[in-house]
Amino acid sequence: MKTFIVTLTFFLCSISIYAQDKLTFKYDTAGNQITRERICLNCNPLSRSATTESDSLGIADNDLKTVTEFQLKSYPNPVVDELYVEWVNNPEMLVAKIQLFSISSQLLYDMNVNDRQGEQQINFSNFPAGIYNVVIHYTNHSKKTFKIIKK
């Protein structure tokens, strides 16, 4: 019995040594989390670097609360009445259309975008609380999808 307790204690201590990582978060001006970085505390100090996790809160990397790729951001998330989507136009990738889908893939909002517009507001006041998908369509036929939570 003593051997079992000593072995179990040693095993638990050895596991906890490797589980000591530090998480750091960065937020935009609206208070939305934009990145989460994991810093390895047990790594060699010369090779230690912050690694960005691609999975934010169990959501795919293209579903972050603020999408920074292609200079696109949306806020606030969770939304109450209005969702603001802003972007910087890139000559190679202009925003062509914004669509909003319910979690059951029902199209709720469909808006063609003027290529010089740079921002769009989506009224959420008439939608029930839940999770919604926003799809941004670009002129090069690519698209970006991210999730929005409605309170």
The tens-digit pLDDT sequence of the chain (151 residues) is 778 777 777 666 665 555 556 777 788 777 777 777 766 655 655 444 444 433 333 444 444 444 444 578 888 989 999 999 888 877 777 888 999 999 899 999 999 987 677 888 999 999 999 999 999 988 888 888 999 999 8
Phi/psi of residue 18, nearest 5 degrees = -85, -5
Which residues fall within 8 angstroms of residue 42, CB to CB, at 6 or more apart? 17, 18, 20
Q: Could you tell me which of 128, 123, 78, 85 has the C-alpha nearest to residue 103?
A: 128
* Whether the predicted model's global pTM rises above the 0.85 cut: no
- State the residue for tokens 């989460």: 36
Q: Which two tokens mark 117?
A: 């517009």
Looking at residue 142, the DSSP 8-state letter turns out to be -
Residue 148, pLDDT score? 92
Residue 107, pLDDT score? 93
Q: Could you tell me which of 93, 8, 27 has the C-alpha nearest to residue 66?
A: 27
E-state strands within 10-142: 21-27, 33-40, 50-52, 72-75, 82-87, 95-102, 107-112, 119-123, 130-138
Asked if residues 97 and 117 have their Cβ atoms less than 8 Å apart, the reply is no
Residue 11, pLDDT score? 64
